[in-house]
Amino acid sequence: MPSSNKHPKLDWLYRGTSEIFPDRPDSQNPDENLAFRIFTQTDRPLRIKLGIDPTGAQLHLGHSIPFRKLRAFQDAGHQAVLIIGDFTAQIGDPTGKSEVRRQLTPEAVRQNAQTYLDQLRPILDFQTPGRLEIRYNSEWLAKLDLEEIIRLLSTMTVGQMLAKEGFSERYDRENPIYLHEFLYPLMQGYDSVAVDADVELGGTDQKFNLAVGRDLQRHFGQKPQFGLLLPLLLGPDGVNKMSKSLNNYVGLTEDALSMYSKLEKTPDKLLAQYFELLTDLPLDDLPENPRECQKLLALEVTSQYWGETAAREAQEAAIGLVQGQKMETDAVPEYSLAGVEFPAKLSFILKDSKLCASSSEGRKMVQNGGVKLDGEKVADANASFSSPEDLQGKVLQVGKKKFVRLIG
């Protein structure tokens, strides 16, 4: 956390913040003390930069952390500058990668960017005039000619680049580092120059890139930005960073019941971090009972994305499914049987509905007693159904977290 000399009116700034740099809390130099800068700069709102590279289609709660901080700055009267890295996404951020990232096509980047913006609407203020500026970095990066790129490259040495954690590890292991990857931190840093950022937000793994932005702003005669780093959210497994590739994530577009059900199983050791980073609830007033904390967390976060009514319906549905009740709520996600060829085996439906990764896994789950149909445990691993009418409207459940309503 930043220095303990915190101003109480800036609780929103320090909540969940891992580091602010530079951070000299006793200084009255607005270039060294962000709190002092916030209180003394009255001629215009601060410009708070957050860059995202649309390299995938779905965001998860781990991605939401910097956006929630960006919203806190908006609510405090400052201007969010959201940079869509449509140019840098075609390079790929090498941070934390042991090998070169796949480069995306411009069309894939555009599609992902629109999907990202749709998912961010429950978090950011898109409505208040002057609170959100959306920019695409191809606006300036695509216009750089070779002379300007050479001038940009001349601001850093190979030694400085190899000091970046991911690069140094790959170099030591003799894994290839391609020259275009060296451009990424410089391009992201140049974004800060292009939008004249006062503060840049990023995860703790982005400190190198944010520091490059400061150096480039100084090089181009601008006042260097502050860097504000936020922790990387652990997934529900309590071990690894939340990640789709590790299947330990809660997606922002998951239906209310799936979101609620995952969050109410949050391990006790993660509850404090999840409340701090994913909610605005006072941390001193949380229930003492861990089970009540789990339910409160699940209800609060699900409400943020689906509304309180849908969240409470999801809570009721989750309780009913655990108790084996037949639920008539809309909170249960639907799976259409229209594309299934009957007669159909249950193991195939489990795979096709994505409740299980494969048919063989589906059979194992049945054998282990982990599959229910409308609250009744299925005993036959080779169960088969002759027509959609046998399943119409029933809830198929795997374990305590996964379920779909079967529709024709």
DSSP 257-293: HHHHHHHTT--HHHHHHHHHHH--S-GGG--SSHHHH
Q: Is residue 59 part of a domain?
A: yes
Residues 6+ apart with CB under 8 A from 154: none
Q: For the packed helices 256-263 and 290-306, what is the interaxial angle rounded to 10 degrees?
A: 150
The reply to whether 261 and 122 lie within a common domain is: no
The reply to whether 84 and 217 lie within a common domain is: yes
The reply to whether 13 and 133 lie within a common domain is: yes
- DSSP label at 243? -
Radius of gyration of the chain measured on its C-alpha atoms: 24
pTM of the predicted model as reported, rounded to 2 decimal places? 0.78
The reply to whether 340 and 311 lie within a common domain is: no
CA distance 224 to 219: 9
pLDDT by 10s per residue, the chain, length 408 = 444 466 778 999 999 999 999 999 888 999 999 999 999 998 899 999 999 988 877 899 999 999 999 999 999 999 999 999 999 887 765 655 545 556 677 888 888 899 999 999 999 999 999 999 999 999 999 999 999 999 999 999 888 888 887 788 888 888 888 888 888 899 999 999 999 999 999 999 999 999 999 999 999 999 999 999 999 999 988 889 998 888 889 999 988 988 998 999 999 999 999 999 999 999 999 999 999 999 999 999 999 999 999 999 999 888 766 555 555 455 678 888 888 988 999 999 999 998 998 999 999 999 988 898 877 789 898 999 988 888 887 889 888 768 888 886
Which three-class secondary structure state does DSSP give residue 334? Answer: strand
The reply to whether 264 and 368 lie within a common domain is: no
**pLDDT given for residue 105 in this prediction:** 78
Q: For the packed helices 179-195 and 146-153, what is the interaxial angle rounded to 10 degrees?
A: 100
**pLDDT given for residue 321 in this prediction:** 63
The reply to whether 203 and 108 lie within a common domain is: yes
Q: Where do the DSSP E strands lie in 102-225?
A: 132-136, 199-203
Could you tell me the CATH number of the domain that includes residue 390? 3.10.290.10
The reply to whether 70 and 217 lie within a common domain is: yes
Contact 135, 81 (CB under 8 A): yes
Residues 6+ apart with CB under 8 A from 264: 294, 295, 297, 298, 315, 318
Boundary residue ending a domain (192, 212, 230): 230
First to last CA, the chain: 53
Q: Is residue 172 part of a domain?
A: yes
**pLDDT given for residue 2 in this prediction:** 47
Which three-class secondary structure state does DSSP give residue 151? Answer: helix
CA distance 220 to 216: 6
The reply to whether 151 and 219 lie within a common domain is: yes
Report which of 348, 340, 347, 350 is spatially closest to residue 387, judged by C-alpha positions. Answer: 340
DSSP 282-326: -GGG--SSHHHHHHHHHHHHHHHHH-HHHHHHHHHHHHHHHTT--
> Greatest CA span in the chain, whole angstroms?
77
Contact 343, 385 (CB under 8 A): yes
- Cβ atoms within 10 Å, residue 354: 11
Q: Is residue 128 part of a domain?
A: yes
CA distance 18 to 378: 48
Boundary residue ending a domain (299, 322, 345): 322
Q: Is residue 251 part of a domain?
A: no
The reply to whether 154 and 283 lie within a common domain is: no
- Cβ atoms within 10 Å, residue 225: 26
Q: Is residue 377 part of a domain?
A: yes
Q: Is residue 238 part of a domain?
A: no
The reply to whether 224 and 166 lie within a common domain is: yes
Total domains in the chain come to 3
The reply to whether 276 and 204 lie within a common domain is: no
Boundary residue ending a domain (302, 322, 342): 322
Q: Is residue 243 part of a domain?
A: no
Domain carrying residue 339 = 334-407
Could you tell me the CATH number of the domain that includes residue 209? 3.40.50.620
The reply to whether 276 and 165 lie within a common domain is: no
Instruction: Give the CB-side neighbour count of residue 248, counting CA atoms within 13 A.
Output: 14
